[in-house]
Structures are given as structure tokens and as C-alpha cells.
Structure 1
Amino acid sequence: MSGAAVLPRRAAAARRWHRGVPARVPYVVIALYALMAVLGPLVIDYDPVHTPLQDRLLAPGARIASGEIAWLGTDALGRDILAQIVYGARTSLTIGLATVLVASLVGVTIGVVSGYARGRLDAVLARIIDILQAFPAILLAIVIAGVFARSVPVVVLALSVTAWISFARVTRGVALSLRERAWVDAARVMGVPVRSIMVRHVLPFTVGPVVALATLEFALVVLAEAGLSFLGIGLPSTAVSWGQTIANGQQYLETAWWISTLPGIALSLLIINIGILGDQLTARYGQRRGRI
């Protein structure tokens, strides 16, 4: 092969690689957040109850009484902002993953059964979904979180109550389109049990759309958890949350902007990149779904 033929191919490969670089940014950012959530607390020691008032309202880069540097400053109680961001990342990712897992399991099960069975069962489940959708999701979460004592399981429950609806609607649509396919009809004719048909011939086709939806729901859950914590009805005071940190600094925006601004930036970056990743996955699996 001549060098003249190799150069255009290399140039085309380079162009494809450069076009793909922006698409990889969300993966890198989310991976960094995950590493921070997993490894950060092992490196940074932080006690949310300890309040060293002698270090209160220090600017980013200032030295605290122990001689260490507060790289992102301290809040009104002397607590380190960097540590709160790191521990808040663990809290947000844990609650987000737990909520999406619960919501997807419930929603996928209901959606597949409803879409495949149809009839009265589908009508009843559809009415339940309509009733839950009549209430604003965040309002229902506030009511549930306000009734029970503040804890991580209560927040997961409050956010899962309506999060499963999206998974149920997506998987129901996939099941409705698949139940009349030739391979599903062949399985019914051969006497394959209904449960096996749903698990082997319907459920695998829901994986792509569910994964794409899970990324978008994850971003909404993280944002909703921060909102609940901002209102003071989410997590207990012993837990670290970006929403709590932002709320603690709202009265110091003019004199100590870093208390609310820096956790807000961390939250915004995570939400934006998860949203971009969700859009990419939706576009990819949406095209595949159209070819089913």
C-alpha cells in the first residue's frame, strides 16, 4: 500500500478521534466523581459534628489553627468545604444509585408485566400511574420525607415513589411492541411459560432504553436529594450533603461566597455531565429500538 493511500486514512481516523473526544468528557467527569466518592473519604478525615469555631469563615487557601491548609475555605462553623464536597459526593452517588436501582426494579417489573399481559391488569396499572402522575414528584417527596424521621432510607423511599413511573412507561412500550413478534408467538405456540417468555424474549430488549433512562433519572434524583437537604427535610445533620452545605452558606453569599458557590458548582457539573451522557445513550438506544 502506498504512502499516499495511508495518509488520507490516518487523517480520517484522526478526525473521528477528535470528534469523539467531547463525547468522552462526561465519562471522564463522572469517573472522577466516582473516584472522589469512593477514595476521597479514605484520604480526607472529616467529622461533620466537630465545629472548630476558631477556623470559621476562612477564605480558600487559608491556614487553619492546626496548621493545615483549607484549600476551599471553611464555613460559618469552621468546617472544611473541600471535605464537605468530597463526603457530599459519596452521599449523592449513594442515594442516586440506590434510588435508581429500586425504581428500575419496580418499574421494569410492572412495565413488562403490564405490557405483555394487557387486559384488565394493564388498565389497573395504567390508572395507578395516572394517579401518581397527578401529584408533583418533588411535592410528594417532600411530604414523605417530612412525615418520617430524617434518614437515608427515607430519602430513597421518598424519591423512589414516583421515579419508577418512567421506567414502567418505557418498558411497557417495549413489551407492547414485542409481544406480537414472531419469536414470541413461536414461544407461545411451543408452550413456553409466560414467565419464561417475559424473562427470555422481552426483558433483554428493555436493557438499552432502561440504561439510558437510568442516567437521566440519576441526575434528577441527585438534584432532588440536594433540594430536600437544602430545605432541611432530607438527611440528618450528621450526614453530609451538598444541599445542606449550600443552605448553610446562603446568608454569607456576600462575605463568604465559597460556602455555597463551590458545592453548587460541584453539583452543577455532575448534573450537566450526567444529562449529556443520558442524551448520548438515549440517542444511541433510541435508534436501535427503532430497528427492533
Structure 2
Amino acid sequence: MPAPRVSFEFFPPQTLEASFRLWETVQMLAPLRPEFVSVTYGAGGTTRKLTHEAVTTIGRATGLNVAAHLTCVDATRTETLDIARCYAEAGVTEIVALRGDAPKGATRFTAHPEGFANSVELIEALAATGHFNLRVGAYPEPHPDAADTLADVRWLKRKIEAGASSAITQFFFEPETFLRFRDLCAKEGITAPIIPGILPIENWAGVKRFAARCGAQVPGWLDEAFRAAARDEREELLSVALCTELCDTLISEGVEDLHFYTLNRPHLTREVCHALGITAQPALEKVA
């Protein structure tokens, strides 16, 4: 069975120490020759400038195909499209187009009075420029603002019809969660690739908090497994084993692409990739 194609998500640094950690992450994972890497937009659009700097720097220094996250949060249509234009002028051809989360302190997303009301409007506007390959988010478990998974699937179909080429899912803990979602997407007529989002677990307590915010269900058996592993100081070993098993099951079910949420901590992601048969390749030529 061939090794899957992989991609990696990074977030932009806000301190000098974080800058070093991001660059270490890029250097460690770039030799695995990802299909693309993406750089997130901070909650509420707070890292807009930092995201632009990280995207352009990584692309220029490594030659990797870098996708920039772009959201509807706290910006007018003109401001958002100006950011996209700057990306196009810098040679960035990939965008992950998202509605975005509510700004800090708010409980729900509220569109800017002169901004895009939702992700579909954003995707339509970006697609109309003709400059970008657009990827979007997908939710194998109901998004906190969605009525149910079927509503999420039908909204995903609208995003694909608006101009997106593929979707990247929120992370999940059991392969059946993704496989049921993929089947439902197929039933609703979605033919675009749906790439599972994979989160190697660096800190179990932190991941549980993250899961609660985004609606990912935590299986009881997994919570107990990490409690037992903590007693034996074997959390990292457990994390690599579980993540590798999750990915291997997905691959056996026909998944050809995996998107890793690295949290700018590359060691577990690299270990899982190695276990899946993804090894370092000759260095890419740097772009002048």
C-alpha cells in the first residue's frame, strides 16, 4: 500500500521564541515533501499581518507550496480582497477560505457590516479573481453553530459549488467519525476530495479543552488510556501509536491525503509520518 500524501498546518509566531519554534518545525517537516503547508489566521483575525509574513517567508525560503488561511472576521470585503491581492502578487496561489471564529470575548460570529457574511460569499469572491486554488473547512462532527451533521454536509456542498477544490476536516479521534462523514458527503453528491485533519496529541488536557470548543467528541476509552499512560510516563508513546493506527485505518479505507495539525511542535507528526512510511526526500531548491 503506497504511503499517503501529507500536508501540515502551522500557526504564525507572535514572539521571538515562537519564531524559532516555527522555523524548527518547518525545517523538520519540509524534508517529508508535503503537498502543501498552511498557516492559520489567529482567532478573530488577530494575526493577519503575521500570517502574511509567515506565508511569504516560508514559501520564499523553502520552496514549499504554502496556503494562507483567510477569514471573514472583523474586516470589510475590500480589506479581505486586498489581503488576497497581496498574496497573489507574492506568488501565493493557495488559500484556505474560512468563515472564522468569533473574536475574543464574543460568543458568536457576527459579520462585519461591510464584510462577507459567511464562507460561501468569501469563496465566491476569491474564486472570481481566478488567482487561487481554494480549500475549505469541513466538520465530521457538528460545528457548534450547525443544527446537525447533515446541515454541515449541505453547507460544505455549497462551499464546493462556490469554487472550492477540496476540504480539510476538523480533527477527530476515531476513524469511523470520518468515514461516516465521507459516506454522507458522497450520498449528498460531493465529489471533491475531503482530507482528514489529524492531530497528534502533544498535551491531552489541552486537546480535551480544544475538543470541547470545536465540538469534537472525546471517547471515554481514550481519556482512560491517557490517564493510564500518564501514570507510567508513556504519553508520547501512546500518542504516536494511536495516531499511527488512526491514519493506517483511514489509509486502508482509501484515504490518500492526510493533513496534520502540528501546533508548531513537529516531533510527533514526524514520528507518525515515519511510521506510515513517509521519509525524508532530497531538499527542495530554494526560491530566490
Give the TM-score band, short-chain normalised. under 0.3
* Structure number with higher strand proportion: 2
Which structure's CA Rg is the greater one?
1
Give TM-score scaled by structure 1 length: 0.24
More helix by share: 1
